[in-house]
Structure 1
Amino acid sequence: MTRRGGLSESQPARPHYHGHRERLRERFVTGGSAALQDYELLELVLFRILPRRDTKPIAKAMLERFGSFSEALGAPPHLLEEIDGLGPTAIADLKVILAAAQRIGRDAIQDRPILSSWSEVVDYCKAQMAYETKEQFRILFLDKKNRLIADEVQQTGTVDHTPVYPREVIRRSLELSATALILVHNHPSGDPAPSSADITMTRQILDIAKPLGISVHDHIIIGRSGHASLRGMKLI
């Protein structure tokens, strides 16, 4: 038996959000990401991860909880699990997307003179570290043409402290034959203002590096609200 229009009585109704998904995709195709609000772009991401769920309330809940698109993707798994509709598989898929974005950022500065693409370096560091819940101290090791040799996390600490050993920094620089460094660490509090300990540690590394012909171009501190450059602040 069929209803008017040829639909079977047993055929399930089309979920209400399917038309919304199609319209959202069309807006993205036509206008790009600039045509979408953060929650709408997050919806697009979630469409593929949760094909049988209405992802609009999930996207809005994530933004309400974490504040921005980047923070939603960067949130730790145990907090993402608190969002209704996100399970371990969906969270793992979100982390794959985050890792892909971070890899794209790394490729943007690979094999290029870093000092000529400084804004991309800062963007890369933000993508890697801004939403970490613990302090990380990482180093960008550069060759004599200021191209990236390696990007390594040297230490991971607590929410407000990371132990840094200047001689270990220099030892690793010599192992990699690096002639210049960019020091980077994050402030999980969100405020990138350098502490007196940050300044002291940076100057200690400078003092050891200089006689060995190793330059320290900068120490960048990353926070959710922005970044600080010790070189730019004339603190080193």
Structure 2
Amino acid sequence: MKILVVGATGATGRLLVKDLLDRGEKVTVVVRSTEKLSELLNNKNLTVVQAALLDLSDKQMAELVQGCDAVASCLGHNMTFKGMFGKPRRLVADAARRLCTAIETNQPKKPVKYVLMNTSGMRNRDLNERIAPGEKIVVALLSVLLPPYTDNIAAAEFLRTKIGQNNPLIEWTAVRPDSLINEDSVSPYEIHPSPIRSALFNPGKVSRINVARFMAELICDNSTWKQWKGKMPVLYSSEPRADSH
């Protein structure tokens, strides 16, 4: 398979690239700097395009996704003042829109998978997910005060409403991890169609390496893809169970 990963130098993106390369897949990344990928640069299946993604022309974007079986977005905003409030404010959503437009321009013979890393704070309106009144107030404030949160929502909504469930050229899923933590190895994790706890008031945890593994499974395993395409699965690392006596 040929897979494009954007956001490849992020904490989860690097793990996804490594997971895909370990499977023998051909991976292309678009990065401003290769520094954070130094340990992977010698892999013959890795192609590096050094650029700012949104600075690419429409023609360059179409060339970038030409022949790709899947596109994975681990894009996000740096948690600094400039990262949260500076430009580009709609990095994730604009990337999704332009990459999907590029895919459609190429008219691939079979649908291309678009796997978006999102957040458990994003509601899937296809399922009429409900939240408590107090949480609604906080979400409304976040939407006003935190542009990255609004950007994540816009990206997922673009896939849900503009690409939809019946697009002949693009299939998608939006992965919604709960609070992200760092772990050294993959551990058992749970996948749910909707959150089973409050993302704001009672969040669970999931390791970045587990998120990377699930995204790689979506891309590489057809049964996993069929189960979750067009959906917004929520991930939690499984909590250790106390031994029964």
TM-score (normalizing by structure 1): 0.29
Higher strand share: 2
Higher helix share: 1
Structure 1 or 2, whichever has the larger Rg, is 1
TM-score (normalizing by structure 2): 0.28
